[in-house]
Amino acid sequence: METSKLVQKSKSEHYPKMRHSIKAEDDLIDLFPQPRYFQVHFQHVHENAHDLRGELAQLKDYVTKVDEKLERLMALLSRAPEQVL
């Protein structure tokens, strides 16, 4: 199945082709990202991990409460009908 020209055009606009070629006179260190990139990336990962830990703690509390409610409901259902009234 062929993709339409509009889709092909939009893909090429969003993802420009890399035109940098490595030459013998280039320093390899200049081709790598600067330290600031790694600092920002690490900070972003750290913040996401912190947020996820908080969400995980909330979910654990929620599961504990739901489990307690389920145990109470199971105890009520397991009683004999005359005890419920």
Give the residue-averaged pLDDT of 3-19.
53
Who's near 76: CB < 8 A, 6+ residues apart?
A: 84
- State whether residue 46 is helix, strand or coil: helix
- Domain boundaries along the sequence of the chain: 52-85
Q: What is the overall mean pLDDT for the chain?
A: 78
Residue 1's pLDDT band, with cuts at 50, 70 and 90, is very low
Examine the pLDDT at 65 and tell me if it is beyond 80.
Answer: yes
Q: What local confidence, expressed as pLDDT, does residue 75 receive?
A: 92
Q: How many CB atoms lie within 10 A of CB 85?
A: 4
Examine the pLDDT at 73 and tell me if it is beyond 80.
Answer: yes
Examine the pLDDT at 8 and tell me if it is beyond 60.
Answer: no
